[in-house]
Structure 1
């Protein structure tokens, strides 16, 4: 009997231990779960039974209202060559799921839970104008679920969107980039897309200022479009970002060297024509502009429909430098032309009489005219003195023989035989002197003719030099005028926009 009672006691002990073990196992599965875990498990288990495929609606014709918005964090890059805009954003989704509802009173008044984003249905909102090689744009983020079925999802994302780049005013350009979002498969009768909180704009409250770009303005537009593939209307939200480049970096590597080289080209026209540096300087400046043009090509898209104005300015300067080198050759040729041919009267009248006065070259032209006037006056005086000097011989030739002898009747007497011999000797000496004077006269005339010929050649050479100098000065002013006009044509977009700068309002709002 005692043995039987011991066996019964052992059996009861084992039974109690087994019951306690089973009860503790069941309590570990469900009894020790927090209300939040139990709620999440219940909702996800039910959702898995229903399935994630298909919209969470009761009726097929029901429309799910999806609200969408973008919070711009940073402009990462604008690739001008590939025309791609990279932005760091927070995307915000909000919709309602009837299968994710519960009564908070049954779960310790829990009103919100977080579940993995791939465990429930989500709208397929895609970036239409994507330009990305990655398969996933967004980072993993939990979905916030409210007790009434409201779903909020705020994933971090880096979007790479295509953007048409207009580089006409580079580096003072303003770019307008658009980001188009919409459902890829659901039309407007299935998913109605609207702006979250009615904010038809980028949210810039968390924006980090870019070192290269300033935001001029941003806006967003809701569009309803019927595509050629599908007759149903599709709803999309298009966010537009207008940004302006900060040109400080390019001012030092592109603009300032360009202006300095353009100013240096003006020195080319101030160098004297006899200097060999006049040709070397032009070729060196041409090479420097070509290097700047290659540097500009590295910063701009090669397949652009329009070239930047600064590139056109570089090409214009290269053309002007080539033309100035050619004109320098013409000036040097005219300067050393010599007396091979006289300056045409029309050229002399236009350049020396009119253009030289406009180019502030009166001193050089006045010296030339004074030399000419003095030369004509001296020539006239020399001719007068020369005629007066040699007219003495002609004076004696015009006299009668009696005037030579000093005898009134002109016939010598017998008593004057000594006087006759003396007179004959005097006449012989006179004829010999006359012959010598005529020979000296011819020699002096030849010397004067050679001197006049040399002076005429010098005058012609001097006139060609004056024409060359006037042309050089004329080319200088024309080149300076071309530089000023080209600079105004390129930078007028920058100079006249400073008065109305909406970027200040955007910066203040940040």
Structure 2
């Protein structure tokens, strides 16, 4: 380019800038709708400077946003990903024109990259914005600029997951200038926080598992050393929709616990209840492994639903241990000559049975007061010995030789009968001991079943009350 022409263009541009700065208005020509390109180009050349005639006056920036979607909540990394429609206003004091002189044009669109804009950021952001950029802004004839843009905000948030899946999260978005202090840029909300909340609820009510509860906010001044920044802090309160987790986690777990409770009605003496309970514990463990991906995990704590599953698994193990104890008691009679101690009869068969209202079978009588053990075999021995004299004394028979010959056979038969009677007495005694140990096992099983039901009921009531309190507080 000719140096003289270049010099002339620079001088003309400076003159236009001077006119604009002095008059405060853009120029318009006849036959042109709106300000001329030359006058706006002079403003574009000043995009690196804050658009204020008097630099002692701060530029006021108004912001508002609409929460359109909650894209993700990562409890482990404490990150919230949201999608916002953000609107920002400020005044450009060099972009002013008279609509009467510019063919009635009151609003034009200009490229955002050619104009100065406040460096408003969200202090909690932890990742780059990958949303589609909006390259244009609307400029009013009074110099007010409106910039609508989409913002994919990845921000840090202190997520509280103890009450999962009935948790409520309160995350803050702090809007402020990165470099300009309150002497250069001041911030103010463009809409009230109630209006922001109402606009966001209309779009977020059908968005995924999260429901918007409210949007709150306040304006404040951030002090750092001798500098001060104007900031707007907005709290977004969102609540999780728990239906998915109740159906996939709580209801199956409750069904497995119900099956474990009903397994107590299996007769322990004829069915291998322990194998059934071990299979149930194995199935519950597989269920927890499959559903582990649905549970949030953080280094700060464990959600109460995780504690709930752990306690349910512990209760199943306790139920298995109870079955082992009852099985051991029921098979205790296999030990020969092992009678039920007197204190067991008093404590278990009398007091505990009366306490739990145990219903005795028809063929079994409740135990009476314990008495001193008497030798039961004395009568039988005496009776058996009473037979011996009668047999040893031979009956009068005309043929003494035949009577004498039959004596050894009679003695042998009497001995066989005595052994058979002693064996039957021992079998009867073992059967009585077996019945006594079985009744002890049944009473203990009935007692432990009631204690197990009480533990599960109290635990379920505590969990339900805690969740109800959290829900009512939200």
TM-score, length-scaled by structure 2: 0.78
Count of residue correspondences: 433
For residue 347 of structure 1, what is the aligned residue in structure 2? Answer: 344
3-state SS, counterpart of residue 342 of structure 1: coil
Q: 2:40 aligns with which of 25, 44, 50?
A: 44
For residue 211 of structure 2, what is the aligned residue in structure 1? Answer: 214
The alignment status of 1:479 with 2:452, answered yes or no, reads yes
Q: 1:177 aligns with which of 166, 171, 175?
A: 171
Q: Deviations over 1:264-300 (max 9, x none)?
A: 1113322222445412222222222222322443123
Shift in CA distance, 318/122, structure 1 to aligned 2, threshold 3 Å: same
- Per the TM alignment, residue 32 of structure 1 is displaced from its structure 2 partner at its CA by 9.1
3-state SS, counterpart of residue 364 of structure 2: helix
Q: Deviations over 1:372-415 (max 9, x none)?
A: 99xx9xx89x89x979x99x99xxxxxxxxxxxxxxxxxxxxxx
- Per the TM alignment, residue 462 of structure 1 is displaced from its structure 2 partner at its CA by 1.5
Q: Partners of 1:35 and 1:106 in 2: how far apart? A: 9
For residue 35 of structure 1, what is the aligned residue in structure 2? Answer: 33
- Per the TM alignment, residue 257 of structure 1 is displaced from its structure 2 partner at its CA by 0.6
Matches within 5 A, 1:142-221: 142-199=136-193, 202-205=196-199, 206-209=202-205, 210-221=207-218
For residue 99 of structure 1, what is the aligned residue in structure 2? Answer: 94
- Per the TM alignment, residue 256 of structure 1 is displaced from its structure 2 partner at its CA by 0.9
Q: What residue ranges of structure 1 are gaps of 5+ in the alignment?
A: 1-29, 394-422, 426-435, 503-510
CA contact (8 A) 2:112 2:136 kept: yes
Q: Which has the larger radius of gyration?
A: 1
- Per the TM alignment, residue 110 of structure 1 is displaced from its structure 2 partner at its CA by 2.1
- Per the TM alignment, residue 93 of structure 1 is displaced from its structure 2 partner at its CA by 1.0
Could you say which structure has the greater relative contact order, defined with CA pairs below 8 angstroms and 6 or more residues apart?
1
Matches within 5 A, 1:106-505: 106-134=101-129, 136-137=130-131, 139-199=133-193, 202-205=196-199, 206-209=202-205, 210-227=207-224, 230-275=225-270, 277-338=272-333, 340=335, 341-364=338-361, 367-369=364-366, 451-496=424-469, 500=472
Q: Partners of 1:497 and 1:197 in 2: how far apart? A: 31
3-state SS, counterpart of residue 109 of structure 1: coil
CA contact (8 A) 2:163 2:470 kept: no
Q: Deviations over 1:292-346 (max 9, x none)?
A: 3224431234334221212112111222222222222221121111163222322
CA contact (8 A) 1:296 1:311 kept: no
- Per the TM alignment, residue 120 of structure 1 is displaced from its structure 2 partner at its CA by 0.8
Q: Partners of 1:443 and 1:94 in 2: how far apart? A: 116
458-467 or 292-301, larger mean C-alpha shift: 292-301
Q: Partners of 1:365 and 1:355 in 2: how far apart? A: 19
3-state SS, counterpart of residue 319 of structure 2: helix
3-state SS, counterpart of residue 44 of structure 1: helix
CA contact (8 A) 1:365 1:466 kept: no
CA contact (8 A) 2:75 2:298 kept: no
- Per the TM alignment, residue 446 of structure 1 is displaced from its structure 2 partner at its CA by 7.0
3-state SS, counterpart of residue 279 of structure 2: helix
3-state SS, counterpart of residue 480 of structure 1: helix
Q: Partners of 1:464 and 1:223 in 2: how far apart? A: 77
3-state SS, counterpart of residue 189 of structure 1: coil
Q: Deviations over 1:480-510 (max 9, x none)?
A: 2222222222232333456x476xxxxxxxx
Q: What residue ranges of structure 2 are gaps of 5+ in the alignment?
A: 1-27, 391-395, 399-408
For residue 415 of structure 1, what is the aligned residue in structure 2? Answer: none
Q: Deviations over 1:77-134 (max 9, x none)?
A: 3333443323222211111111111222221232222111111110011111113244
For residue 404 of structure 2, what is the aligned residue in structure 1? Answer: none
